[in-house]
Amino acid sequence: MKFFVDTAEIEAIRDLAATGLLDGVTTNPSLIAKSGRDFKEVTAEICGIVDGPVSAEVVALDHATMMKEAEVLRKIADNVCIKVPLTVDGLKTCKALSSEGTMVNVTLCFSANQALLAAKAGASFISPFVGRHDDNGFDGMDLIEDIRLIYDNYNFATEILVASVRHTTHVLQAAKIGADVMTAPPKVIHDLFKHVLTDKGIEGFMADWAKTGQSIL
């Protein structure tokens, strides 16, 4: 499963990229706003850190303006992936851009039927929001299972990008189902490293090493 980080914080992206785990980045207007920086400037800097897709979201709601915004965004770098909402105009934009060879991430997916539409429109990625789905009394992972089944039935090339990931269990469940990608905040990715037995093991090794009085350097 590919790992994307969901943030516009440059240092957090650099830190994770250094581990070799990072396959891409997702951003949205809210995350860019939190950074307090220019949208295009931040996007360009992120694209220079990672080789994989960097999702940059349009903010228009009509197809014509979405296309104009996408034209500006995709000139930022070759690895920009245009992010559009799962609406009629969003899918018109998805079809037009994907037909030209531009990567498209269709976001705000909350049903398997919506995911089917996005795949037929040629989306590179579909972003089902599992955390928000859970918040509203549904099971986000049931949604991922349904999309996986449908996409496998018809050999759709669209990758399932599990979004709105709230905790490490979401990551584990998505991987077991066979999701192609997950995007999560930096904290969730760092939490994947943690285990009480790992901490205890390191503590024991360090205590034993200290008793030897030796130094590697």
Task: List residues with catalytic annotation.
Answer: 83
**Cα 119 off chain centre by:** 17
Handedness of CA 65, 71, 76, 81 (dihedral sign): positive
Distance CA 182, CA 163 (A): 6
**Kind and range of the H or E element at 190?**
helix 186-191
Residue type, 74: R
Residue 40 backbone zone (phi > 0: left; psi -120 to 50: alpha; other: beta): alpha
Q: For the residues of 37-62, what is the DSSP string, one character each?
A: S-HHHHHHHHHHH-SS-EEEE---SS
Distance CA 18, CA 38 (A): 24
Fill in the DSSP letter of residue 163: B
